[in-house]
Amino acid sequence: MYADASLAMEMADLIRFKTSTLTAIGFQRNGVWGEETASRKIEHLGLMFGALAASPAGIVKGRGGHLNLSAHPRIEKARSGASLR
């Protein structure tokens, strides 16, 4: 099972946001991920989404959720000094 296109795009946006040296105007971030950290985060998020989507009756004993029913909040511009993590 592969992630749908919207989840893949959200992951690409997250990785781009967290690994870029500078954020786009209007965005704030605490810390920058290096290549190894980004790779590890991709693996961990993949395992988490895989466990959520896997069948409870299968070898993984997942939750059987459908990824297309999950919510993936978009990163928005920080307002009034709030920062995105």
Give residue 61's pLDDT: 86
Contact 75, 14 (CB under 8 A): yes
Contacts of 23 (CB under 8 A, 6+ apart): 17, 29
Return the domain boundaries, the chain. Answer: 5-69
Give residue 38's pLDDT: 95
Average pLDDT of the chain is 81
Structure tokens at 53: 């989507």
pLDDT above 80 (res 67): no
pLDDT above 60 (res 63): yes
Helix 5-19 × helix 35-53 angle, to 10°: 150
Residue 77: pLDDT band (50, 70, 90) is low
CA of residue 85 relative to chain centroid, distance: 12
Query: Within a 13 Å sphere around the CA of 44, how many CA atoms are in the beta-carbon half?
Result: 6
